[in-house]
Amino acid sequence: MSTRETDSTSTTQNASTEPILRTENVRKEFGNLVAVDGVSLEFYDDEIVGIIGPNGAGKTTYTNLISGALSLTDGTIVFDGDDISDLRKYKRVRRGLVRSFQIPQIYDELTVFENVQSSVLSRKQENNRLFSLTHRDTASIEETERLLEMFNLESHADEHTEHLPHGVRKILDVAMSFALRPKLMVLDEPTSGVGSREKNAVMETITDAAVERNIGLIFIEHDMELIRSYSDRIVALHEGRVLDDDDPAAVMNSEAVNQFILEGGV
Amino acid sequence: MSTRLPTFGDMKAQELKGLLLDKRLLGGGVLFAALALYPGLTMNAYHTRLLAWIMCFAIAALGFNIVLGYTGLLSFGHAAFFGTGMYTVVIAMESAGITDLIVLLVLAMLAAGVVGAVIGALSVKTHEIYFALLTLALAQLLYVLAARDVGGLTRGTDGIGLSRPDFLGIPISEAPAHIYLMGFYYHVILVCLFATIAVLWLVLRSPFGLTLKMIRENETRAEMSGVPILRYRLYSMVLSAMIVGLAGALYAVVVGHVTPEYLDWTMSGEIVFMALLGGIGTFLGPIIGASGFIILQEVALGVTTYWHFTMGLVLFVVVLTLREKGIWGGAKALVDDLNERRDDS
Ligand SMILES: Nc1ncnc2c1ncn2[C@@H]1O[C@H](COP(=O)(O)OP(=O)(O)OP(=O)(O)O)[C@@H](O)[C@H]1O
Ligand SMILES: [Mg+2]
């Protein structure tokens, strides 16, 4: 297991008692529509949290606020002890707050290997190296190989990503996010579009890797089976508000959750 | 598995790749020698001039392709950098009395880099057609400034004639024009072209080059990998501008007269044309494109007054059939295809 690089910006106190991420009264309005309506939640780096909610509940919007893809209308986001509410997207990533995508965001004209290596080099902030050859850079190559192994992607290493099956693209997207050595990873529907037989394998790969590397996970999911199997805690959102936030059994039995989410047929 | 080699294949693949690289180096060396000896062996001033011309534009097209082929931005303002390179040389000679070629070339690259930084800073936030239009508009502004002689440096549409620079204190400029070109200046351009190829080859295979490709392929992901994409787009504009500025500076001495036309949008269009013709998806394509363009222009000009139309038609057909591969990529694909068929049978 690799040691986490010491980052001058991080002020990690005691990781398991301090939340890695805290949102306070986070709010997002689109014109008259309030998509996220004062959400206050805490997340720790040793847990896997599932977010559920009907379509339009504000799940994606909430994660976009966390990643910085959308700006806050109101509220505060504290990550690893620092207020990051106004921090640019790429700077949040550099601090270890990483997201993966509902639709895989990968580089189609590059090989699987290059896709992962590019993330490794970005994490090391070596994008500005002008006169060194990436195909001779043994440090990043070895790390890339380990990641490919971890996500069972070795057999695809030299393939261009365009023609990969959807499940593999999904895994590659996650592998690229892992290459960034996040402290917390936010996954928007990591199994959407993946065949139902593959879903468990995808989740398994992701959660194993997260546990192995001490990465906190937040994942949005519509599949209640997956939510129940893989989360330590469930947050239920409804109309932009937190309906429930508890351990899986309690949330699944909650009356409000049953009324608004489970019976809604999502 | 843990000792997997950098080429991601087995040892044989690695050796093969090494061989291929050597073959390319060898090919490059032979080409360099042939080009270097050409003027002396043939004493053909017309061909030498044409080759010098081609090489200047090959440098420009290579530089331009950093932005289009690698970063994925279509600039329609690269005349600004070419023209800045030209004007820097002539103004530095005329007004500042600088005559050393090396100094002039360095100054031209720096000036073009600064213009690239300004145009880049104003435009990298935009995308696609907006980027194209904004770069076009900003470059056109420079054209107007030069044509109106704002600042009294450019002498308006008449332009400025320039004399021949010296080299390392040697008063080589006193040689007759054709000797200056065939015995000296042509070789300076040749060295600059090969130096540009070498530097770009390296840079585009570095983490920096990969970063530009990341931005081209998927901006969202690049940013979510922690890359400040606007900054890298700006870097690519500055690098591109400096190389195109070098091309302009070299060209200024070949034509001996600098006018605002070189800052005009038609000039930008010609650079785009060359890159597309040769193939923006390949490293060497722009060189082939520049050669094709200039040779075609010479031929078409000789036989028809509708040469613009002829060129347009050629580009239309090439882009329609070969897309981003262009002539060079298309030819490579054809060779691969033939090899495969031969192997199959
Ligand atoms: N960029 C936007 N502009 C305007 N309205 C938006 C925007 N993004 C989301 N919304 C609206 O905000 C609300 C919350 O949307 P969001 O995408 O966050 O829901 P979700 O919980 O992710 O739903 P789903 O389960 O369908 O993915 C919806 O009503 C949606 O139409
Ligand atoms: Mg959503």
Nearest to B206 among A67, A130, A158 (CB): A130
CA of A217 relative to ligand 1 center, distance in Å: 22
pLDDT tens digits, one per residue of A75-103: 999 999 999 999 999 999 999 999 988 88
- Between residues 139 and 178 of chain A, which touch chain B (CB distance below 8 Å)? 141-142, 145, 149, 154, 157-158, 176-177
Cα A71–Cα A73–Cα A78 angle in degrees, nearest 5? 65
Mutate to test the interface with B, among A127, A130, A187 (most CBs of B within 10 A): A127
CB contact under 8 A, B211 and A121: yes
Of A53 and B323, the structure prediction assigns the larger pLDDT to A53
At residue B228, what are phi and psi to the nearest 5 degrees?
A: -75, 90
Q: Determine how many CB atoms are found less than 10 A away from the CB of residue B105.
A: 21
Which amino acid residue places its CA nearest to atom 6 of ligand 1?
A30
* Token pair 């290579």 in the structure block, residue: B62
pLDDT tens digits, one per residue of A236-264: 999 999 999 999 999 888 888 888 777 65
Contact of B287 with B278, CB cutoff 8 Å: yes
Q: What residue ranges do the domains of chain A occupy?
A: 11-103+183-266, 106-179
pLDDT at B120: 97
Say yes or no: CB of residue A32 within 6 Å of ligand 1: no
CA of B147 relative to ligand 2 center, distance in Å: 55
pLDDT at B25: 84
CATH superfamily entry for domain A11-103+183-266: P-loop containing nucleotide triphosphate hydrolases (3.40.50.300)
Over residues A177-182, mean pLDDT: 94
Q: Which of A26, A29, A33, A63 to mutate to test ligand 1, by most ligand atoms within 8 A of the CB atom?
A: A33
Contact of A22 with A83, CB cutoff 8 Å: no
Round to whole Å and give the CA distance between B201 and A6: 34
What is the distance in angstroms between the Cα of B179 and the nearest Cα belonging to chain A? 37
Architecture of domain B29-344: Orthogonal Bundle (1.10)
Over residues A41-66, mean pLDDT: 94
Contact of B204 with B70, CB cutoff 8 Å: yes
Q: What residue ranges do the domains of chain B occupy?
A: 29-344
Q: What is the pTM of this model?
A: 0.87
Per-residue pLDDT for chain B (345 aa), expressed as one digit of tens each?
333 333 333 445 666 666 666 778 888 999 999 999 999 999 999 999 999 999 999 999 999 999 999 999 999 999 999 999 999 999 999 989 999 999 999 999 999 999 999 999 999 999 889 999 999 999 999 999 999 988 888 898 888 999 999 998 888 888 898 889 999 999 999 999 999 999 999 999 999 999 999 999 999 999 999 999 999 999 999 999 999 999 999 999 999 999 999 999 999 999 999 999 998 888 899 999 999 999 988 888 777 777 778 778 888 888 888 877 888 888 888 888 887 777 665
Contact of B286 with B294, CB cutoff 8 Å: no
Round to whole Å and give the CA distance between B58 and B247: 8
Which residues have C-beta under 5 Å from ligand 2, the single-atom ion? A 60
Residue type, B208: F
- Between residues 3 and 62 of chain A, which touch chain B (CB distance below 8 Å)? none
Contact of A210 with A48, CB cutoff 8 Å: yes
* Token pair 């490919």 in the structure block, residue: A148
Of ligand 1's listed atoms, the one at least distance from the Cα of A36 is: 14
Q: Which residue of B has its CA nearest to A104?
A: B221
Contact of A114 with A107, CB cutoff 8 Å: yes
Say what the ipTM of the complex is. 0.84
pLDDT tens digits, one per residue of B61-111: 999 999 999 999 999 999 999 999 999 999 999 989 999 999 999 999 999
